[in-house]
Each structure stands twice: as C-alpha cells, then as structure tokens.
Amino acid sequence: MSLPDDASSLRARADHQAIDDAETISPHTAFAAIRPELWLALHRLGFAGGKVIVQGDGADALLNRPGADVPGTSSISATVGHPKQRHLVDPNETFRGGLDAYDAAVTVMPMADIELNTPAAIVQRTLIHAALTWATLRMVRPGGLAAVITNHMTLDGNTPRSREEIAVLGDLLGAVRLPSGALRPQMPGTDAVTDILLFSRRPQGQPSRSRDFIDTYAVPIQGRYIRLNTYFDTHPEHVLGLSGAIHRVAGGPILTVTGRPGRMASELHQTLGHIASTAQHDGLVQPPAETPPGMGVLAIHKESKVPHATAQLATRAVRAAAQNQRMRRGPGVNGLSMN
C-alpha cells in the first residue's frame, strides 16, 4: 500500500537529516575503543604484520592517525607491524596497492549506523554494503584477512544472492553484533545496529569452510517478526546485548540491540577472542608463530580524506533512492498516482 505523500516526504527528510547530522560528528571515540580489540583479533587470526588498507569514516582512529576527530571518509594504505618488524618496510619500494595486494583490509561502510526510513534507501544501502564487502575481499591476497564494519542488513537483508557472491571470494570466520548506537551514541538517528564481520580470502580452488551466513529467517521478537541471519541463530552469544524490536507506523519493525551498560569493551574482547580461538581450533586459520605485545603503523604509503561523506557516491545513491521513492509515491498530474 502506498503511503500518503506527506508520510513519504517525512521519511525522506528524516533520512536526509540523519545523514547530515552524522556527517558533523566523527565516531573516532568508539573506533579508538574498538581499535585494540580488532587488531588483536586480526593478529590471532593470522595477521603477523604487513600491508594493510583501512577505509571509511573512522579509518584514522582505527590506525591511531592524527585528525581522527575531524569528520570525513579516509583511505589509508600502510604497513602495520610490531616496532621490531622494520624489515617489513623497504625504503626503496613504491607500493601502489590494488587488487590482491594487501595482507589485511578494514572497511567501515558508509552510513553503517544511520537508521534509514525509506525502503528504497535501505535496499540501496544494503546492496552497496554487499558490493563494498566483496571489493574489500578482492583487495586482499588469497589467505589474507578482511574486516568490515557494516549495517546489520548486510547479513539480515533479504538479499541471499549478494551474500553468495561474497562467499565466492571468502570465508566468514565470525561476526559480532554491536549494541544500537555503539558508534555515535550522542547522535539521534545513528542508532542502527552494526556488525563487525571477519573474513579470510579463500585461495582459488580451495573448498569453502565458511561459517554459515547466506540464509535468513523470520523470528518473533517482542511480538513482531524480524528477519535475522542464521549465523546469529547459531551464535547468539556473539550479540552484545538483548535483541528487541521497535514498531514503525509504516514499514516493518526495526531491530534494536540493547547493550549492557559499561560492558561493551570487555564483551567485544571476549567475543572476538572466542571467534579467533574457535577459528584456530577448527583449522580455518593458522595463528602466527608468536604474539607481539602491540602493533602500530610502520609506514604510510598513501593517505587521503574526503571532508564530507556527501562527496561519496554511496551516500549520493542512498539520498537519491529516498528522494525518488518520495517522488514515485507522490501525487501525479491532476492528483493521479505516479505508481
């Protein structure tokens, strides 16, 4: 059933306002807290130093770079390792990056934590996040690791074909579902549920040993049915809080995760550690020979930052989807519907 024009307009304006508001504040505080746990998990999954690329809003904080508090979308190509691993940096090397070039990649998806209201915009974002997840895997070498911080619809969306395409390239090692508002808790409209997904790039010809993440199913939550990925049915302990549902006047209910106050950091440490240890136990990854006490940036190969996310094609596409849906559902000439 079509919504009245004023309702569609309100939803489109709400989406635009949420995007605009999110661009004014960087989630660097949250990513600074996530940073040590994420790199420790990647190390335990087999990353022992090497070439990395970190992209998205919060990339600076994930590499502890200057200017992390300035809102914007960054792309940083670097060599990361323990301070004693200076042999990883060749002063005569001109590293250009590209496909199959990195030992590890981390991507923070655009608008990952924004609560969108327009169905067309939600679908557009879900497809963009799936495509960028595929592209992130394509950038790491076979056997390399990829971490993506994305909206929960990458796993929960009714888009199994997109996840099948991702599974062609890589194996899901594990996923963590963060509490609502984990990245920008001080901002209204940025309390969408986000996930941390950990992948390994599968060498060509090797059979898949991925955790199951293709299918979804409808589950009752607080009297409403919400579609969830089978991964979290198998691993409910990887949800850092209590799953719930918020009813909307138009459209389906919204998934929420209510975290336990003051426990996200410790629960993230425990959950990522469990993912790494079970991946090692199941033979999905080979742990490094030794665990250095800490890793950092040894060299920067290329670094860029776009001041506003609106310059990114992904955000433009979602804005356009929200606007176009409003126009399609609005009254046409002489009051006739344009559907």
pLDDT per residue, tens digit, the chain (339 aa), is 444 456 677 777 777 777 777 777 778 889 999 999 999 999 999 999 999 999 998 899 999 998 888 888 889 999 999 888 878 888 777 888 889 999 999 999 988 998 888 888 888 899 999 999 999 999 999 999 999 999 999 999 999 999 999 999 999 999 999 999 999 876 677 789 999 999 999 999 999 999 999 999 999 988 888 999 999 999 999 999 999 998 865 567 899 999 998 899 999 999 999 999 999 999 999 887 665 667 899 999 999 887 654 445 556 666 666 666 544 443 322 222 222
| pLDDT value for 83 | 83
Is residue 204 a part of any domain in this protein? yes
Domain count, the chain: 1
| pLDDT value for 72 | 81
Is residue 252 a part of any domain in this protein? yes
Is residue 339 a part of any domain in this protein? no
Q: Give pTM, 2 decimals.
A: 0.88
| pLDDT value for 326 | 47
Is residue 123 a part of any domain in this protein? yes
| pLDDT value for 293 | 62
39-74 as b/e: b if 16+ CB within 10 A: bbbbbbbbbbbbbbbbbbbbbbbbbebeebeebbbb
Is residue 47 a part of any domain in this protein? yes
3-state secondary structure the chain: CCCCHHHHHHHHHHHHHHHHHHCCCCCHHHHHHHHHHHHHHHHHCCCCCEEEEEEECCHHHHCCCCCCCCCCEEEEEEEEECCCCHHHCCCCCCCCCCCCCEEEEEEECCCCCCCCCCHHHHHHHHHHHHHHHHHHHHHEEEEEEEEEEEECHHHHCCCHHHHHHHHHHEEEEEEEECCCCCCCCCCCCCCCCEEEEEEEECCCCCCCCCCCCCCEEEEEECCEEEEEEHHHHHCHHHECCEEEEECCCCCCCEEEEECCCCCHHHHHHHHHHHHHHHHHHCCCCCCCCCCCCCCEEEEEEEEEEECCHHHCHHHHHHHHHHHHHHHHHCECHHHCECC
Is residue 197 a part of any domain in this protein? yes
Question: The domain containing residue 76 runs over which residues?
Answer: 5-327
Is residue 172 a part of any domain in this protein? yes
| pLDDT value for 40 | 94
Is residue 335 a part of any domain in this protein? no
